[in-house]
Each structure stands twice: as C-alpha cells, then as structure tokens.
Structure 1
Amino acid sequence: MTRPNPLRTLADIVRVQGSARADHAAILCEGRRVDYAALHRVSKQAAHGILAAGLRPGDRLAYLGKESEHYYELLFAAARSGTVLVPINWRLTAGEVEHILRDSGTSLLFVDSVTTAVAEKVAPDLPGLQIVPLDRPGAPGAGFTEWVSAYPDSELLIRARPDDPIVQMYTSGTTGLPKGVVLAHRSFFAVPNAMASEGLDWIDFRESDRSLIGMPGFHVGGLWWAVQGFAHGATNIAMREFTPSGAVELIRDLGVTTACMVPAMLRFVLAEPGVTKADFSTLRKIIYGGAPIAESLLAQCIEGFGCDFAQIYGLTETGNTVLCLPPADHVPGTRRMRAAGRAYPGFGLAILDDSGNRLPAGEIGEVCVRTPAAMVEYWNLPEATAKTLIDGWVHTGDAGYLDEDGYLFIQDRIKDMIIVAGENVYPAEIENAITKHPDVAEAAVVGVPDERWGEAVHAFVVPVAGRQPQARDLAEFLQDRLADFKAPLAYEFIDAVPRNPSGKILRRELRDRFWRDQERAVS
C-alpha cells in the first residue's frame, strides 16, 4: 500500500521541494525556467512583500492576468503569509472584476500588461486598493522581479494549517452575481491521499513528469492540477493562454508526459492542421473534465493521442475532483465510456430525491457528494452555503443516476448552469445584462448543443412594446458588460417568456427542442 503524502499545506510543498529538488525545473513558461530553489526563495520574498503592503493572515490579494510563473509564486507566497489568493479570470469585464475585488475585500492586486487597463478603470472606485504590475513595457516579469527583490529571503514564523483558507475562487451563480468559493489547503491533498491509501493509480504523479497545465489557473481544475505537479516535484508547463497549436508544440518539443484539459481543448488539439500521433509520443496520460464529453470524441482522443485517459468530475465547491473514470474503464464501445466515474476511497456519492431520500441504482435524482476537500464556505453568504453544504454533503445541482457498480451517469442539470468550453455560465447573469438594454422587456437564456464548444448560449428576448432591437445591437451592448464566453451566440425574439405560476422561467420549455435528438440533456 502506498503511503499518503506527508505534505499538508501548500507552504509545505515549497519548503520540501525547495530542498529536495532544488535544481529541478518547477515551472516552464514561454522559455523561462524557475527551479524549485528559486520558487522557494521568491515565494518567501513575496510573502514578506504581501505583509509589508499591510495585509495580515486571512486578508485577500488577487491575481488578474494570464498564466505565468508569477501566479504560482504568489500562490505559495500567500500560503507562507497566511493570506488568501483570489484568482480572477482575465477575460472578465471591468464591472465583473470590480465586483470580485469589492466582494472579496481585496487590498493588493497583481496585474499584467493585458489587464492593466481594466485595473486602472476600477481602481478609483476601490479606495485603498494597491496595484502591483507584473510586467514593464517590453520586459515581461520585470515589474514583479523588481518588487520581490526589495524583500528578504527569510522564513516567516506564520504556519498555515490544513483547514486554513488558501484560495477564494469565483463561480457564477443563479442570482446573477459570482460567489466566492473559499477553499482550504486540505482541498489540494485529499484526493491523492485517498488514492494512495488504496494503492490506486487512476491519476498518478511522478517526479519525472512534465505536466502541461491546460486549464487556466483561475479555474479550480487548472489550479488543482498544477498543485499536484508541484507536490510531487514534477516540472509544470504553464501556457500563457491556451491555443491548439501552442499545446501541440509544447507537448512535442518539451516532452510533455501528462496533461489536464477540457473536452473542447482535446477536440481542438486533434483538429490542428498537420498534427500526427507522433506529436504525442511522450504522453503517458491525459486527465480531462470540466464538461461532459461525447463518446465519439472520447474514442477519437484515445486513438489520436495514443495514451491513457482518466476523466474527473467535480465542482469548485468540492475542491475539484470527487469522482474518476479510471484508464481501465476507457474501452471504446462499452457503456462505461458514458460514465462520469466513481468515487475515490473514503468519498461519499449518493443520488437524492427532492425530499433528501437516497434513490436506488438506475433512478435519476440530484448528485450529492461527501468529500474531505469540500469548500469552507461561500464568502459572506451563509444562506447560500447552507443550501449547498447540507449535513456534510455537497449538493451539486446535477441530475444523474448510479449503476449497480457505483458509477455515476450525468443526465441533466437541476441548476440552470451552461458549460461553454469548460467555462461555467449562469443564465441569470446574462439575462440581467440583456434586460438593461432600453429596448428589452424580458430575456431568458438557455444552453443549446454546439459541436465546437459543447454548449452555446441562446437568448430569448421579449422587446419593449413598439420597439424591435436587432441581434447585432444587443451583441454590441453586451461587449463591455459580459466576458466574451458568456455572450449569446444567437438571439431569438419572442412575445413572452414562459413562466410557472410562481414566476419562475420554464427553461425546459425553451430548451427542449434543441436537445430532443440528443442522448442526454447536457453536452
């Protein structure tokens, strides 16, 4: 039996690996190399800088930028200073960014050249916000390097505990405003320890691995995956921004052995012009998740990449993965290929009806999980927390059933979430933005099947009497109000939004015709 990893906090990772694997590459990013000794040193300096800026343990700092080595240096600096890192999606609009900064109480913000303009736009409305540029014009990373060089390379006396918060990740909600999901250090160690306790290698990590972080670090999947690589002393390869050609190049030229991606990314990589199986000769395993995958695409991936595959299922609220479909179950043509996976050892999985009763195998209900990696809370939202965390169970909002062997099959969503290329999108947020247009009386948004993105946003719009907005007008109106991945791909004008007697939008009536010929009501 493999022993669980003795590491218990993210601060432990850099202390141990900084000594044990000092000269080994920890991060490769756009030709830059950071070894574990440097990661250990810089994270100590940055921790001093965070405290010098006036933050104290429990306070929030934020990172708004594309992927870089500095994101992970700041993550470990937060762990060493007892502060909490708030990763922000760089594709969000200024209004969306301002909400996250204000809601989290962030007082220290790190930005790169791509996001400087957004930060400067929101700063006047956020008194006390300190902004540190990561880049200088023409010198990527120079600003951060100069900032950390002012602080000592010495250990702080602050010692994090497994239950202390380390990140606060924002996920869109049914109310239309993103909620801050607070995750503790323990969230990043529970799954590998559970597998190790039973000697399972469903998702395994090796010191010799070159691990591609396909998902961005502002998503729990990307962050969780990166932390696993660091914890096991592997080399982590960060893409500043995912592109199919860039992924192929990194896998081929840097000898990537493991990678974590969403299904849409896998599709794009396989479709890249000129790509051959030889480009993926060093790959031994791909982990995928974030959205359901079509069985046909999965079969193409198994053939095209020529390596093992493992599917993971989870939420930000569960600290990422709670289930896994192991490589052994990836047999094309078998029923298991349609499953989301089964629970890790010691994790709970149940299907509940509306009254909270367990349903037998084969019956569809809400997917609920019990995991030692579960979130601490929704930040400053006790009522919302109580609706999701009930008696130790996380209510996912997904609908599915278990087979006789305990494998989960996702069928639909109880909540109204749409998944666009792995990005979680909630209709209420989009509807709120659309109805701010002076020519719109009502709006309803649903997800529809999309071959390229998995799902696409489709908006139903009720015009104000006597007016007729055009789709292009609405698209232009939303440009500065919603991130591009949330924007509807199509608008349909209707006379009235269907509602039940209590006024709730009957989304199923709107979306059923799009899904009628699909095997399941998620894509």
Structure 2
Amino acid sequence: MDDARQWTLVATSAAHARDRADHPAIICQDRRIDYAQLHRMSNRAAHSLRSAGIGHGARVAWLGRESEYYYTIVLACAKVGAVLVPVNWRLTAREADHILRDSGAQLLFFDGEFDPVVAPVQPTLPALRNLVRIDRGDEVGGGLHAWWADAPDTDPDTAVDPEDAVVQIYTSGTTGLPKGAVVPHRSFFTFPAAMRAAGVDWVDWLPEDINLISLPGLGTAGTAWFWQGFNAGLTNVVMRAFVAQEAVRLIRTLGVTTTFAAPAMLRMMLDEREASPEAFASMRKVAYGGEPISTNLLTRCLEVFRCEFVQIYGSTETASVPVCLPPADHRPGSPLLRSAGRVCPGNELRILDGEGRELPAGEIGQICIRTPSRMLGYWNRPEATARTLRDGWLYMGDNGYLDEDGYLYVCDRIDDTIIVAGQNIYPAEIEKELAEHPAVAESAVVGLGDARWGEAVHACVAFRPDRRATPRELMLFLRGRIADYKIPTAYHVMPALPRNPAGKILRRVVRERLESARTVPDTDTAGHRSATTTEAMEGTSR
C-alpha cells in the first residue's frame, strides 16, 4: 500500500479483511486470529469506545501483558481517532501513575493481576473515568469479549488521516521522567515504502513471513515491528512475555522466519538447550538493536541461526528505522560490525558540534536525523519538543561520528559522557570491550566525581555463572584495546545490572548506587572499600 493517502492502520485493516480474510494475523498461545476476525473484533471495540464517550484525540491506556487483544484495542482506538497509551506491566504503581496522569487517559484496560497497581492510583486520577478489565478469571480476553458483546461489527465512519496520532509511547526514562512521544499512522508505513522504492531489502516484511514479536509491543521497537508486519499482511506470533525457551520452541514448531530482538534476548536463546541450527532452520532474517552487541555474541548468532542479520539504530522519537547495518556487512571479523550502519533510504543523517555546525568524517558530535517516520512531538511538552525536533531534524541524545564511507559509529548517550581532565570518554566503547572478556556477562561504565581529574571512570560488571575475574585481569584485558586514559580506575561487581522495563541498562541508577556507597564505606579484609549496593567494590586497578 504505497499510496500515502491510505497510510493508516484503519485502511490496512479493512483491506486485509477483504483481501486476506482467512490468513492468520496473530498467533498467541493456542489462539489463531485471522485478518477478518481481527477487523471485526476491533470494530466492536471501536463502537464500545464510542459508547464510553471516547472520541477523537482522547487517550486510552493499556496495562496488561501481550496478546492479540492489545493490538485489537490499538486498532479500535485508531478507528475512533483515539490514541492508545501503553503502560508497561513491569512498572511500579508510582511509574504507572506518572504515565496515566501525564497522558490524561480517560479509559484504562488492565489485566486483573495488575489490580494492585491500578487500585491505589485510580482514585487520584480525575480524568480516568472508565476501567475495563481485560481478563475474566484465567481467561485471556474474556473481560473484553463481555465488554463489547452487544456492539456491532460494522466499520465505524470516522475519518482518519495519516498524520493523526495513533499511539503515545513513553520514553524509557533513562535520564529523567518518561515523556510521551506521539506517533502518527504514517510512522508505520514510510520505512518499508522507502526501501521498496530504493529497491533494497536490508529490512523487509513479506506476506508469507511468520514474524516473532520478541520485543514487547508496549514500546516503540516492538510496536513498530508488529505494525509493519501487519501492514504487509503476514502472521505475527505474540508471546505474553518473552521467555527464551518458549521463543526457541515457537521458532522451531511454527516455522518462524523473522524476528527483532535485543542482543540480550539473542544470547538467552542461544544458551537454551534446544538452540541449534536445526531449530532455527526456518529463519531468514534477524534484526537486532536497542543496545550494543559484542563481536563474540554476533559470531555465535551467525553460526547458529545461519540467516541474515541486520542491526537497527533508532529511538522512540524516530518511531522506525533511520539507520541500519545491512546483512551484507555482517561478515565475521569485519570492522563494520562496530558501526550502527548507514542511513536508510528516505532518511538523512548529520553530525553537529555544540554550535550546530556540521562536522566532517571522523569527528564526534551529536547525531541528528531527518526521517519521515518521526514522532509528532512530546505530549504536552512544547519546550522538550522544541529542543529535540528542530526544522524537521531530530536531535538524538547520542554522540557519534561518520566514517569516510558514511557508516555511523555511536559513541554514547550525551548525558552519559564522562569527562576526565577535559577528555571525553564514551562508556559504550569500554562496555563493548569488556563484553569480549569471557567472564563478563554485562557491564555498565559510569563517571564519578574526582577531586583531581573532575571525573573518574568506574566499571560495574556482572559475571557469567561460574566465571570470575579480578580487577587487575580486567585492566590487563582492556590494555591495548582502548587508550590508557579510558581504562576504568575501579571495578565493582554486581549480581545483575539494573534495567528499565524496556530492558536497557540504567547507568543513572548504577551511578546513584555507587555514589551512595561512597558515603557509607567499610573496609574488607583485602583493604578494599565495600558497599551494600554491590557484591564487592574493589579499589584502583592502576
């Protein structure tokens, strides 16, 4: 559907109900929903939303696990001009309260298991007039079927435009309170249309594909991956929550052909007993992103999955894929594996200094992207929108540089940059090298205040089961891989690193824990400082 006037989920739903009526749209657990059923269910839900007073521009929230019903409600909102606000079910009541309050949601769909989150916040939210329980006992979706039971399944007559908002995705909140990025219908159409127009298939969705939704549809990556697959008319396989063993089983038994996953998810799948080239024989393409991938992990993926791999770089604000490393560049040992890739067709990319001047190849600055899929803006945050979105360009929160061939190398989040004696140090660069150590499962590098140098580089590491390394061993491993001034001055061991509900490591929380530990140190038998927030805090390594 390359007619931009038809770039709406509403038009696509109607077209698939007509042209692909019996084709499975969603598989979830043992339930299969075809495109005709999905269209009728979302029509009933749309009419029920209208009866509840939900109209154009109203915000509707969802607090529940993944299922076909989540996507049904997104479509229902689209069909009445409302905007769906997903609330990640891993959030605390306080975090959920922020999203519900900030969005002004008038209706909330929720799974019964999250009543302890809903009950304390609902009375304090004057805009939240309606609550609809998704489930009925153990029956997934039973409450929804009862809610729309008397509604007609005819198409609502709402006029919908590609520029109309359809979902409001809250940023991961790695540097502060999450902001609601308002995403229009067009965001789910521009990228595949541009790829087709350019005649390239770096990332593609085919009608015959079976697409595993590994990342939750409650975030931009997962929801964009689902809706672009939906627009292609393929079959999306939805898990209630990601479980590596179940993902491997679904790939093997259903013949999954494509998926998009975070590197940590790929590692967990490869660690499963059933993981083998035979189990993944149906796969044709795996996309990954959300965090850096180590060379060792990528080599394992290429050896076991034996299909094409593509890296994606984007953000909540881009709402789609502005940069990717194509499959042809995924060659073991290639230096390009350290890059995020090239700008995709239909997008533009530049690197700017602090004065807004474009920088030449090799110089580090702020990554800026112009993409047709970009968000409309942040909900009720005009100043934040103006800082991020300028003259059609998205000012990303990342530092990076372009090489002579136009490949983008992402250094780090701007807010995470460490400055030691005037030298900029980018944590992700150090973390990528630490990930190559056989004992290190994951790491987070942060800067802590230092009286002499301004900041000092500290590394928090979580080890693999039954593997350990001393600070000296880690220091010697890094020596020669990165400049000496970048090597951490201290190493801290944690059983696991803190992550947000989207799975991203929270350096901010790591930094806060280490700063807090500084104020209450004691001394262990080796003379090193220890802290209650870490399993062990070990002294300087050089």
TM-score (norm 1): 0.81
Q: Which moved more, 1:16-25 or 1:274-283?
A: 274-283
Does 2:369 align with 1:369?
A: yes
Residue 401 of structure 1 aligns with which residue? 401
**Aligned partner letter, 1:114:** E
Deviation digits for residues 98-147 of structure 1 (CA, Å, limit 9, x no counterpart):
11111101011011133222112211112343110111113221111111
- What does 1:123-522 align with in structure 2 at a 5 Å threshold? 123-127=122-126, 128-173=128-173, 176-416=176-416, 448=460, 450=462, 491-492=513-514, 493-495=517-519
- What does 1:39-50 align with in structure 2 at a 5 Å threshold? 39-50=38-49
Query: How far apart are 1:483 and its partner, in Å?
Result: 11
Residue 34 of structure 2 aligns with which residue? 35
Query: How far apart are 1:23 and its partner, in Å?
Result: 0.6
Sort the Cα spacing of 1:485 and 1:343 in 2 relative to 1 into closer, same or farther, 3 A.
Answer: closer
Q: Distance in 2 between matches of 1:447 and 1:371?
A: 35
Tell me, yes or no, if the aligned pair for 1:27 and 1:236 is still in contact at 8 Å. Answer: yes
Sort the Cα spacing of 1:230 and 1:446 in 2 relative to 1 into closer, same or farther, 3 A.
Answer: farther
Highest RCO, 1 vs 2 (Cα 8 Å, sep ≥ 6) = 1
SS in 1 for 2:161: coil
Deviation digits for residues 57-81 of structure 1 (CA, Å, limit 9, x no counterpart):
0000011111000000011111111
Deviation digits for residues 290-320 of structure 1 (CA, Å, limit 9, x no counterpart):
1111122111111111111111100001113
Q: Distance in 2 between matches of 1:354 and 1:111?
A: 44
Sort the Cα spacing of 1:349 and 1:451 in 2 relative to 1 into closer, same or farther, 3 A.
Answer: farther
Sort the Cα spacing of 1:373 and 1:450 in 2 relative to 1 into closer, same or farther, 3 A.
Answer: farther
Sort the Cα spacing of 1:269 and 1:5 in 2 relative to 1 into closer, same or farther, 3 A.
Answer: farther
SS in 2 for 1:415: helix
Q: Distance in 2 between matches of 1:312 and 1:113?
A: 35
**Aligned partner letter, 1:408:** L
Identity of aligned residues (%): 48
Query: How far apart are 1:211 and its partner, in Å?
Result: 0.3
Q: Distance in 2 between matches of 1:78 and 1:484?
A: 29
SS in 2 for 1:278: coil
Query: How far apart are 1:415 and its partner, in Å?
Result: 2.4
SS in 1 for 2:279: helix
Deviation digits for residues 12-38 of structure 1 (CA, Å, limit 9, x no counterpart):
121111111101100000111110000
**Aligned partner letter, 1:322:** P
Tell me, yes or no, if the aligned pair for 1:92 and 1:483 is still in contact at 8 Å. Answer: no
- The unaligned stretches of length 5 or more in structure 1 are 421-425, 428-443, 453-474, 497-512, 518-523
Query: How far apart are 1:198 and its partner, in Å?
Result: 0.8
Q: Distance in 1 between matches of 2:5 and 2:284?
A: 26
Residue 16 of structure 1 aligns with which residue? 15
**Aligned partner letter, 2:294:** A
Deviation digits for residues 138-159 of structure 1 (CA, Å, limit 9, x no counterpart):
3221111111222111111112
SS in 1 for 2:39: helix
SS in 1 for 2:116: helix
**Aligned partner letter, 1:24:** H
Tell me, yes or no, if the aligned pair for 2:291 and 2:504 is still in contact at 8 Å. Answer: no
Query: How far apart are 1:97 and its partner, in Å?
Result: 0.6
Sort the Cα spacing of 1:351 and 1:223 in 2 relative to 1 into closer, same or farther, 3 A.
Answer: same
Deviation digits for residues 474-511 of structure 1 (CA, Å, limit 9, x no counterpart):
x9xx99x9999767599432249xxxxxxxxxxxxxxx
Query: How far apart are 1:346 and its partner, in Å?
Result: 2.3
Tell me, yes or no, if the aligned pair for 1:4 and 1:192 is still in contact at 8 Å. Answer: no
Q: Distance in 1 between matches of 2:342 and 2:380?
A: 32
Sort the Cα spacing of 1:272 and 1:258 in 2 relative to 1 into closer, same or farther, 3 A.
Answer: same
Sort the Cα spacing of 1:450 and 1:412 in 2 relative to 1 into closer, same or farther, 3 A.
Answer: farther
Deviation digits for residues 316-349 of structure 1 (CA, Å, limit 9, x no counterpart):
0111321111111111111111110111112110
Q: Distance in 1 between matches of 2:385 and 2:227?
A: 26
Residue 73 of structure 1 aligns with which residue? 72
Q: Runs of 4 or more off by more than 3 Å in structure 1?
A: 2-7, 172-175, 416-420, 444-452, 481-492
Measured on the aligned residues, the alpha-carbon RMSD in Å equals: 3.3
Structure with bigger gyration radius: 2
Tell me, yes or no, if the aligned pair for 1:3 and 1:197 is still in contact at 8 Å. Answer: no
Q: Distance in 2 between matches of 1:384 and 1:75?
A: 26
Q: How many residues align?
A: 457
Residue 455 of structure 1 aligns with which residue? none
Tell me, yes or no, if the aligned pair for 1:93 and 1:483 is still in contact at 8 Å. Answer: no
Deviation digits for residues 382-411 of structure 1 (CA, Å, limit 9, x no counterpart):
111111111211111111111112110111
Tell me, yes or no, if the aligned pair for 1:4 and 1:197 is still in contact at 8 Å. Answer: no
Q: Distance in 2 between matches of 1:189 and 1:449?
A: 40
Residue 59 of structure 1 aligns with which residue? 58
**Aligned partner letter, 2:198:** E
Residue 88 of structure 1 aligns with which residue? 87
Q: Distance in 2 between matches of 1:201 and 1:307?
A: 14
Query: How far apart are 1:232 and its partner, in Å?
Result: 0.8
Deviation digits for residues 411-431 of structure 1 (CA, Å, limit 9, x no counterpart):
1221249999xxxxx99xxxx
Q: Distance in 1 between matches of 2:381 and 2:2?
A: 38
Q: Distance in 1 between matches of 2:502 and 2:322?
A: 30
Sort the Cα spacing of 1:208 and 1:483 in 2 relative to 1 into closer, same or farther, 3 A.
Answer: closer
Does 2:111 align with 1:106?
A: no
SS in 2 for 1:411: strand
Tell me, yes or no, if the aligned pair for 1:4 and 1:193 is still in contact at 8 Å. Answer: no
**Aligned partner letter, 1:29:** C
